[in-house]
Structures are given as structure tokens and as C-alpha cells.
Amino acid sequence: MSKVKRNRCSIKENIVEFRNYHFLRIDKFAYKQEITNKIIIFLSYSTKDSHKFQIPQIAKGLESNPEIQKVYFWEVDMTGDMYEYMERNIKGSDYFLLFCSKNASNSIPVKKEWKAALTLKKKIIPVFDHPINIPLLITNRGIQFKGDDLEHIINSILKLILKKGSLWC
């Protein structure tokens, strides 16, 4: 999402649209955010896999596309409480990239994130090292990460997100 203008105002609903802005309810206050047609992506991964999956490079590569507004990943974007960060940014995202590995399978925060994304009916794209590491409840096709061609991985993700590939069947 674009930079949040910290205009506090109370609202009765969780999301209210007014002109070209919407208000997201966070705690007791709402923060005004400009509505755009650009895509927001949330990356979920185990910190132990950040280097393996080249998370910062993938985020940078995705954000270089003019149709992508923001890619959230906690190592750069988290401030304050981890659970508030998850809730705010998963709710505000259009796509949820789940980096699946043995480490991610054992990570409680990653499990909470993908379950929240599933509950919120987010478009989930698994990026995996081995298919056995994809949670059973995630039935979408995904992208196998082989690590040798990062540009190919980024282009494959963009192809799915920008509806130029088949993800949901």
C-alpha cells in the first residue's frame, strides 16, 4: 500500500470508501489510504529460508513491475507488533506468496499467515522447493523454486499474478 497518511478518525465499519480513499480500521482508529489499481503482495516465509529463496531480490524484482504497488516482507516492513503487522498487511494484500519448505512447515508464524490468507480468501501462490512441503489446504498450482534462475522465478510469479498464466483451476 502507499504511504499511510495518519489521519485519525473513528468509523463504524471496517472499510469505508469515500471518493478516492478508503479507510482501514486499525485498533480504535482508521488510517486513510489512497485507492489505486496496483497490486499489493504479501510474502510469507520462514526467516531461515530468506537467503535460500532470495526473498529481498524477489521483492525488489516484483516491485520493479509498474503494475505492482508494494511487496510486503517482514524483514524490511515490520514495525511494532508482529501479529498486527500480519493482520494489517495480509488484509490489505491482493496476493499472498507462500514460500513452502521444511522450515516454513515448522514455523508457527508462517502457519498463522497462510491460514489467515486462506480465511480471507486471498489468492495464494505457493513457491516451493519440493511439492511435499505445500500445505494440503493450498490447492493452487505453484512455482517450483530451483534457485538457479531468479529472473525466471520472478517472471513466473508475475505471469500468474497478472493473469497471463493458469493458477486457479
Name 128's bridge partners. 100, 144
> What mean pLDDT, rounded, does the chain reach?
78
Q: Please indicate, yes or no, whether the overall pTM of this predicted structure exceeds 0.75.
A: no
Which whole number is the average pLDDT over 34-50? 85
Please classify residue 168 by burial: count the beta carbons closer than 10 Å to its beta carbon, then call 0-12 exposed, 13-18 middle and 19+ buried.
exposed
What pLDDT is stored for residue 87 in this prediction?
A: 82
Tell me the pLDDT band of 9, cut-offs 50, 70 and 90.
Answer: very low
Copy the grid coordinates of residue 92.
490489505
| Annotated domain spans of the chain | 5-34, 39-161
Which whole number is the average pLDDT over 7-30? 42
The CATH code of the domain at 39-161 is: 3.40.50.10140
Task: Indicate whether 19 pLDDT > 90.
Answer: no
User: What single string gives the DSSP state of each residue in 20-36?
Assistant: TEEEEEETTEEEEEE--
| Between 81 and 3, the higher pLDDT residue | 81
Could you give the CA distance from residue 101 to residue 148 in angstroms, rounded to a whole number?
Answer: 17
Label residues 117-152 b or e (16+ Cβ within 10 Å = b).
beeeebbbbbbbbeeebbbeebeeebbebeeeeeee
Tell me the pLDDT band of 59, cut-offs 50, 70 and 90.
Answer: very high
Which whole number is the average pLDDT over 128-157? 89
Question: Can you state the percent helix, strand and coil of the chain, rounding each to 5?
Answer: 35, 25, 35
What pLDDT is stored for residue 78 in this prediction?
A: 63
What pLDDT is stored for residue 7 in this prediction?
A: 41
Worst-scoring range by mean pLDDT, 31-35, 42-46, 47-51, 67-71? 31-35
Task: Indicate whether 68 pLDDT > 80.
Answer: yes
Task: Indicate whether 11 pLDDT > 50.
Answer: no
Task: Indicate whether 30 pLDDT > 70.
Answer: no
What pLDDT is stored for residue 77 in this prediction?
A: 63
